[in-house]
Structure 1
Amino acid sequence: MNYEEYKKAVEELNRYAYHYYVEDNPITTDEVYDKLYHEVLEYEENNPYQVLDNSPTQRVGDVVSEGFHKAVHKSRMWSLEDVFNEEDLKKWLARVFKLDDRAAFYCEPKYDGASLNLYYEGGKLVQAITRGDGVTGEDITQNARTIKTIPLRIDYMEPIEIRGEVVIFKSEFEKINEERAKNGENIFANPRNAAAGSLRQLDSSITANRNLVFLPYGVGQNTLDIPLLSKKMEFIYSLGFKTPPHRATCKWLLDIEKVYEQMKNDRDSYEMMLDGMVVKVDQVESQESMGYTVKYPRWAVAYKFPAVEKITTVKDIILQVGRSGVITPVAVVEPTNIDGVVVERATLHNFDEIQRKDIRIKDKVIILRSGDVIPKIIKVLEHERAGDEAEVMRPTECPVCGSELLDEGALIKCQNLTCKARVVNSIIYFASKQCLNIDGLGDKIVKALFDSGVVKSVEDIFSLTLDKLLALEGFKEKKSQNLLDAIENVKGCDCWRLINALGIEHIGEVASKSLCENFGLNFIDASKEQIISIDGIGEEMAESVVEFVRVNKEHILRLIEILDPKVPEPKAEAKENPFKAKTIVLTGSMSQSRTEIKEMLESLGAKVSGSVSKKTDMVIYGDDAGSKYDKAVELGVQTLTEDEMRGMLDE
């Protein structure tokens, strides 16, 4: 074989691969493909400097990375607004038609996988970046080159970003899990997790063996002069990319609903997992004029499929002990696949719910899973009872330490402050981001320190030494020193962080700041009446503080001595502004950290709360706003984007 024959052979192999992997329509046999592949491989071994970068031999992953580097997208990758029913869709369409009454729509599947951005320049795949936060992701180009549905070269020379979802087909997912089970490895929960995990393997040979599939759904930076998104995507597919199982252009609500119903009804027959349908304005010019909110494009929406309900059996009710000693029951159910996720547990909240729904062990129940929300039992199928179902008794002893429980009706508590579950969860909470923010002191480390006997209480954290840590399994010198430095750095923290870290029931960040601003470290001597006088603190909260201090005063004084917290200077009265004396909730990702925005609002005299209620005056939201935004809309609370907030400040 000479060089010209080699080039033709590479071209022929890529043609075979395209028909096999992209078109699902093989045009040759495995025998013919393998014979030609090995001839190409032999030529490349003898002529290593003539290897073409689009040769199929270059897709075999053999690189092990030390880690992935961060990379910036040429243009931002946006998240999408979710709608869940026809009414929501009507509202979105009304907003779109206000901006352009001639808008038409392009509908395509919403794949359930891992988003990936491909950048081509001069027709070559230059870079592949995960979605990340939409601005910056991880450069996984080497892994992307192993995915056979990603062309290494395209017949388009201008720079272009092609966005899509990396998925694992259902059949391949089953094979992978069977193999992992045989090898004694943990099986993947669903194809989405398998795809995301496979895409980010440091060893690219693992990615190569997982048969990932790339499905384009849009473009980022580009110079394509094509007026319609639907036509633009046709051009993208013509470059050698896999087409979706179904897509359509629509003009009216009824047309969109018809496509949605068909896609929803057919989704089980598709090779890949779907969790909805994406509806986008088809005219590119209209997209550009509509623009974006801080959260999502105004011209696109994700029309999610309805939550899935399944029947399963309650195998057991287990008890979890939280840091405050509250016992939470959790239902263990027969493993049940709900839309690609194997569900084995369901939330029960408390024993009153068990009693109200009359949930018994061995009951057949309907469980509901919606999105990433923890599944819950919505109905007991009493007519299915065989007579051997066991009622769930209210516990009288702690499942962890065996001490007597305090039954307050809705809540059942372990009062033993030395109970392992309480201590471990208290330390985890103490070190968490919203409290002392001790970097490196996560769940697993805390449990390891407790089980070894090195740490038995929160105060023991501050007596850790390098020698103590190095004596433990899995603790290397650098990791240990970093942890010790992080612990040392929290000394001199703000007063409110210590109060919040104590884990006083009903007292969160907002209340901790109020206590700190009104009493400083003297909150330990404040009476119930004095605490109730603080705006926003009620009788139950005040009782909680007073009772906690009564039981734990020595513990608090030792922590004050160790940490020497900073007490804030009295605040000057804020000038009049739109946010003064308002209760505000922040949600979603913003241009600054929420902590910085919170501090700015508090300096304006606002009270920033962590939860939405009827007393909330405003919810200010950024990208990926979730349930807090939804609750604000439900309660009729005023909602503002970050830009709108800043506009009010400028005025």
Structure 2
Amino acid sequence: MTAEASEDNSYVEDPPTDFEPVEDIDAETARQQAQQLREAIRYHDHRYYVENDPVIGDRTYDALFARLEALEDHFDLDREDSPTRRVGGEPLDELESVEHVAPMQSIDQGGEETDVREFDDRVARGLADAGFDPAERAYFCEPKFDGLSVEVVYEDGVYQWAATRGDGEVGEDVTENVRTIPSVPGRLRGDYPDFLAVRGEVYIPTEDFQAYNRERIERGDDPFANPRNAAAGTLRQLDPSITAERPLAIFFFGVLDASVDFATNAAVYDRLPEWGLRVTDLAEEVDSIEEAIDYRDRLLDERDDLPFEIDGVVLKLNDRAACEALGSTARAPRWAFAYKFPARTERTTIRDVVVQVGRTGRLTPVALMDPVEVGGVTVSRASLHNPAEIERLGVDVGDEVRVQRAGDVIPEVAEVVEAASDGTFDFPESCPVCDSPVERDGPLAFCTGGLACPAQLERAIVHYASRDGLDIEGLGEERVQQLLDAGLVEELADLYELGQLDLTSLEGWGMQSVANLQEELEASREPPLDDFLAALNVPSLGDATATALAREFGTFEAVMDADREQLQAVDDVGPKVAAEIRDFFETERNREAIERLLEHVDPQPYEAEGGDELDGLTFVFTGTLSNYTRSEAQELVEAHGASATSSVSGNTDYLVVGENPGQRKREDAATNDVPIVDEDEFESLLAERGVLD
């Protein structure tokens, strides 16, 4: 039992979780209960995060924590050092600078045994010059964590501030973010010093890193390259509540300044846990440089089995008085050395395979691996491309593989070096995001969820609002992502239900921008049929096909209900395109999303504008025209009765070529005896037909 959790604290051992409603207790009872809960939660945090020996279950802990939050909220009992502060404070405008209480220096390093022996020789000479017996030199060895170094300061046992290393003299103030890390105590334990500034390494445990990357990939975000980048990016978040959601941890390994003295560096490791500060149990005292080298070699062998990333070991002269005598250079202490591990190169182990759903619904398997250096870049994920590639490689979780960078850019699994099992990764039959059935198209796999799949929603909305869709200004990628992150839009129809208060609560949305968007949305409620069809982002259904379908069927309901044979009878709609259109509209979840959308949007029946001067003609355009965009040229001929298709066939009447035309279309035109005309000849034809004056 500790000073923070006295023997009469009922929330320490077998705590009750059946609490009276906060409304039924008085303020003094609430204050006493909150104080006991704070003490108990600190005790349980220490048992869980420092001693790795919890005495209560997660649900019980959560109940105690929730009760403390409820008391603090209802009775306004919030305290600066309360464990509830870990859920994150108010977002910051920027990270301020803070000067360290003592320099946070770098450490000289090397990866060869000769480098370490030279360091040992320098230490021996320095000790002799300073009056110490070099024969008695001993070292304290610890893992070199691959994370982000921070300074954490306590006064009178209470957490005060934290800062990144920065340039060693001044760092970034990350006080609120570090406060959210569960293994950072808000108050020290036991017989702590009046002042203590400690150095620690913030990191993300390997298993948590892989799980967090899996979540990011499944929701369509880019995964972090490695745990260090993830920890660094998380610690520099301006919103502490985001930091609180991510699985950060910390090991403390040094004292920058304190109101107590330590005889040895080993003594630092003995005292820090007494005060509630977590240290690794892998550190060791050794009596010679030979033993230090052996220590490094042991940890190198154990590296892949550790629950966190290390990239070497740190050797410190153990006697702190001797350390002070040796002093430092301008950048590094003379009494410490980092003996680096060789970089993992090309061969690594797959720890998980997660299936990413792309914006088009394509499913891409991604291997999450132990970080490995490939072409000078450390990577921890690699593409497996598609289900057929998994089967070809015979790859599964646990396999040791060789990784390469395709085109020197994208990491990919090249081969299985040593299989962990006889099987291969079992590719899912349903979408990991929306649970819709997965369909195979040759070597590829696709989610059939369409408009109802959250992973495809951002792309669907951006396309819906783009110039190729309904041309709704104010709905670019960044703002669409804002709406999705805020939970304001879960399908297209939700755009039309956005209220003014919903939008003005978002960062960067003023009253005028909200009014503009609402005006744009209102103007899109009665779109032309062909524009609406193009806006739905139906596979293989572009502008020209949308216009051809609108002309052929006249109404949206007729297009949606057309069978494959009817669709295939339309110019520019072949068997594959017809099948994709039919599958899109037959998917139940797409139909549901469209029906909801139709409650707000009324696509207008198609009415051909202009005349029939070009009736019966079919045009194909290629290259860049000077007086029209390709879309404008297509719309022009279609408005006067012609068809504009994307490929040349025996039914094509003219191929119109601009600058840099496609070779394939010209070859097809020659094969099918289709006249090829340039832009001037095209306009002359339009003039002859009465389309142009």
Relative to the length of structure 1, the TM-score reads: 0.49
> Whose radius of gyration is greater, 1 or 2?
2
